[in-house]
Chains A and B, each alone.
Chain A
Amino acid sequence: MTTDTNESGGTATVADTDFARDSLQAHSLGEAFQAYLNKLRGGDMGSLPAILGLIVLAIIFGLASDTFTTKLNIANLITQAGPICVLALALVPVLLLGEIDLSAGVAGSTGAMTAGLMIVDHGQSWPVAFLGAVVVGAVIGVVIGLLVSRLGIPSFVVTLAFFLGLQGVMLKFIGQGGSVRFDNEFLRGLAIKNVDPTVGWIGAIVIVVVFAGLSLRTYRTQVSQKLQHPPMSVVVLRIAALAVILLGVVWFLNQNRSRNPNFPIEGIPRMLIVVAVLLIVWMFILNRTRYGRYLYAVGGNAEAARRAGINVARIRTSAFVACSMMAAVSGILLAANTGKISPGSGGGNVLLYAVGAAVIGGVSLFGGRGRATDAIIGGLVIATINNGLLLLNNASWINSVVTGGVLLLAASVDAISRRRRSAAGV
């Protein structure tokens, strides 16, 4: 390496010839599609099963119920999906490490309860209350994280203890059968208000333009430095797909969906904005920062990460902190949805729905694999199942059975693709 400086020009040309025909390099749309199929066959399915499932579910419910596809119901579905999606997103860093946080749902509601009490009992403003909730989440996360990373207690056990303990804490503060009002105009508005239609259009267009700009810039760098890159057609297709989806959603939600002609309801639910912002933040963290890379590395091979100089214990602790803080946000969204916090909030199915959402979306339970978008797509699947089944009949037992079945299915897909990956070595 010491003699390298003077021959670096020569090395670069060697590099070109050696890797000019990268086997993973797709030069046309057809080749790119073939490469994608190979990836699927190798067991790297990503969120494809969830997307297909979502389409199938939408068709089934659309045919079986006349209300499912109404604008009002779709907007409702999105609002219901919000807390699940955010909680699933919260679990992503923990799941990436191959850990689990069973307490996230309850921790979230403990945070929301804190916010609620700060507003109702202490007359605090919503930003202060919001901050309080997030701080409570962070404290819970630090304790869980330290117990897991320093003492080495399995996260399953630590968070199960917190699941029980925090429910007790909530019962103590709220009282049996009681509830905390959650009617702060702004926070409650996250679940029941919509964004002005013009703002929706502008937001969507800005996102598409920024995405297009970044994609094209990356493409240009990759081509000019002769790095591995997808064909131009794929880049354009991706931008077009995002544009169609985003603009389509905005167009759909910007129409009046009110049953009462005197009170128009239109615009994107604020909930969707919150989810979108958090999604973008986490996509950035996971894909573009060292921290994100370290989460994947520790989840993939903790010993390798340690030898690479990564502070594994700190990464592990921080994942639980991030999870509980995000869970607090999810708890607030849930409280905003229902308008109150009761001692049972965040308990019951909430956490399992979120784990189900992440796994259905394609986040591996074995660690090291999964993206932020997976959690959101999975959350939509869970919310759709809930929403659709409730429209068809009011029996919640069917709902639980179906959701449990879907979770099992998703976990099987995860386990099977993991086996295929190690067999195919992709």
Chain B
Amino acid sequence: MSEPLLELRGVNKSFGVVHVLHDIDFAVYPGQVTALVGDNGAGKSTLVKIIAGIYGRDTGDYLFEGKPVEVHGPRDVAALGVEVVYQDLALCDNLDITQNMFLGREQTKGGTLDEPAMEARARETLASLSVRTVKSVRQTVASLSGGQRQTVAIAKAVLWNSKIVLLDEPTAALGVAQTRQVLDLVRRLADRGLGVVLISHNMGDVFEVADRITALYLGRVAADVPTKDVNHSQVVELITAGRSGNLGISENPATASV
């Protein structure tokens, strides 16, 4: 297997007295979709926010392309080429697709907004992702369906030559057809060589697009396995009990002394 693009080693995170993440090892590989699964409260979003630079880590290393990096905030992480698509999307309804895709990073020419350049690049990006459901990049986001919004949020994340895209439950609120669109898009991102992290509670989605599955159980990595080596029920067991057959955490951490 190729070198991981991004790697966390031995990461711990506490909020006050609550120890949320224990010795997490996590890796994102180029061209692969890594599914991050786990029960409610297992620590998935916390892990994503640590990767995104929103939370600091108590201990542990953050490696990017094999080298340890210091990240002190979302801007540092964005500069590495890591983008996060949050579950609650974060788009401005009153702005159009192009304006949203460039929000906070507008291109300017002579101090004024360079609308033609931004519009052209927005179209190019959407077209290169084979997005055909959006009719115009000048449509306001308010007029888009849930799936189309998700598409815009993802396109926004890849606009910046990003190397890694983290998606926190991108299909949670979507219907069948729209989930389809988003999963196809996730797959295409990986096929273009990006490292993709997909958080999902839907095993169908996970087994469809993921190359690897990392299961979290009560803030620990229960398993990190290629999708083809496990089946549905094993993953469900990993999520709910932290172990399944010879996979998983050897002793139950809930009762183990920490």
Chain A residues close to B by CB (< 8 Å): 1-4, 8, 11-12, 14-15, 18-19, 22-25, 221-222, 225, 227-228, 284, 287-290, 293, 296-297, 299-301, 303-305, 307-310, 368-369, 421-422, 424-426
Q: How far is the CA of A293 from the CA of B113 in the complex (A)?
A: 9
Q: How far is the CA of A2 from the CA of B61 in the complex (A)?
A: 26
**Which chain B positions have C-beta within 8 A of A296?**
92, 94-95
CB distance from A3 to the nearest CB of B (A): 6
**Which chain B positions have C-beta within 8 A of A2?**
161, 163, 192-194
Within 77-107 of B, Cβ neighbours of A (below 8 Å) are at 78, 86, 88-95, 99-100, 103-106
30 CB < 8 A contacts A-B: A1-B161, A1-B162, A1-B163, A2-B194, A11-B127, A15-B126, A15-B128, A19-B137, A22-B136, A24-B139, A221-B116, A227-B116, A227-B119, A287-B113, A288-B112, A289-B111, A289-B112, A290-B108, A293-B103, A293-B113, A300-B95, A304-B89, A304-B103, A305-B104, A307-B86, A308-B104, A309-B75, A309-B78, A309-B105, A426-B140
Q: Is B124 an interface residue (CB 8 A)?
A: yes
Q: Would you call A23 and B94 a contact (CB within 8 A)?
A: no
Specify which of A227, A299, A309 is in contact with B120 (CB 8 Å cutoff): A227
Specify which of A225, A288, A368 is in contact with B94 (CB 8 Å cutoff): A368
Given contacts A18-B123, A296-B92, A368-B93, contact A4 B139 (CB under 8 A): no
Taking A19-B123, A25-B136 as known contacts, 4 extra A-B pairs with beta carbons closer than 8 A to each other, sorted by chain A number, are: A297-B99, A300-B92, A304-B90, A425-B144
Q: Would you call B105 and A422 a contact (CB within 8 A)?
A: no
Q: Would you call B119 and A228 a contact (CB within 8 A)?
A: yes
Q: Would you call A1 and B91 a contact (CB within 8 A)?
A: no
Q: How far is the CA of A301 from the CA of B116 in the complex (A)?
A: 24
Q: Would you call A23 and B142 a contact (CB within 8 A)?
A: no
Q: How far is the CA of A309 from the CA of B74 in the complex (A)?
A: 8
Given contacts A303-B90, A422-B142, contact A19 B136 (CB under 8 A): yes
Q: Which residue of A lies closest to B138 (CB)?
A: A228
Q: How far is the CA of A368 from the CA of B163 in the complex (A)?
A: 33
B132-161 contact mask (Cβ, 8 Å, vs A): 1 or 0:
100111111011100000000000001011
CB distance from B31 to the nearest CB of A (A): 10
**Which chain B positions have C-beta within 8 A of A25?**
136
**Which chain B positions have C-beta within 8 A of A288?**
112-113
Given contacts A23-B135, A24-B135, contact A4 B92 (CB under 8 A): no
Q: Would you call B91 and A304 a contact (CB within 8 A)?
A: yes
Q: Would you call A18 and B93 a contact (CB within 8 A)?
A: no
Q: How far is the CA of A1 from the CA of B161 in the complex (A)?
A: 5
For the complex of A and B, the 9 pairs showing the least CB-CB separation, nearest first, are A308-B104, A300-B92, A300-B94, A304-B90, A23-B135, A368-B94, A15-B127, A22-B136, A309-B104
**Which chain A positions have C-beta within 8 A of B194?**
1-2
**Which chain A positions have C-beta within 8 A of B99?**
293, 297
CB distance from A371 to the nearest CB of B (A): 12
Q: Would you call A290 and B123 a contact (CB within 8 A)?
A: no
Within 206-256 of B, Cβ neighbours of A (below 8 Å) are at none
CB distance from A419 to the nearest CB of B (A): 12
Which of B131, B136, B158, B193 has most chain A Cβ within 10 Å?
A: B136
**Which chain B positions have C-beta within 8 A of A24?**
135-136, 138-139
**Which chain B positions have C-beta within 8 A of A297?**
92, 95, 99, 103
Q: Which residue of A lies closest to B161 (CB)?
A: A1
CB distance from A350 to the nearest CB of B (A): 29
**Which chain A positions have C-beta within 8 A of B105?**
308-309
Q: How far is the CA of A15 from the CA of B99 in the complex (A)?
A: 18
Q: How far is the CA of A422 from the CA of B143 in the complex (A)?
A: 8
**Which chain A positions have C-beta within 8 A of B111?**
289
Q: Would you call A301 and B92 a contact (CB within 8 A)?
A: yes
Q: Which residue of B lies closest to A425 (CB)?
A: B143
**Which chain B positions have C-beta within 8 A of A19?**
123, 126-127, 135-137
Q: How far is the CA of A304 from the CA of B137 in the complex (A)?
A: 19
CB distance from A32 to the nearest CB of B (A): 14
Q: How far is the CA of A301 from the CA of B142 in the complex (A)?
A: 12
Q: How far is the CA of A304 from the CA of B100 in the complex (A)?
A: 9
Q: Which residue of B lies closest to A424 (CB)?
A: B143
Q: Which residue of A lies closest to B121 (CB)?
A: A15
Given contacts A24-B139, A290-B108, contact A301 B75 (CB under 8 A): no
Given contacts A289-B113, A309-B105, contact A3 B132 (CB under 8 A): no
Which of B78, B142, B160, B161 has most chain A Cβ within 10 Å?
A: B142
CB distance from B111 to the nearest CB of A (A): 7
Q: Would you call B103 and A305 a contact (CB within 8 A)?
A: yes
Specify which of A15, A228, A284, A310 is in contact with B103 (CB 8 Å cutoff): A310
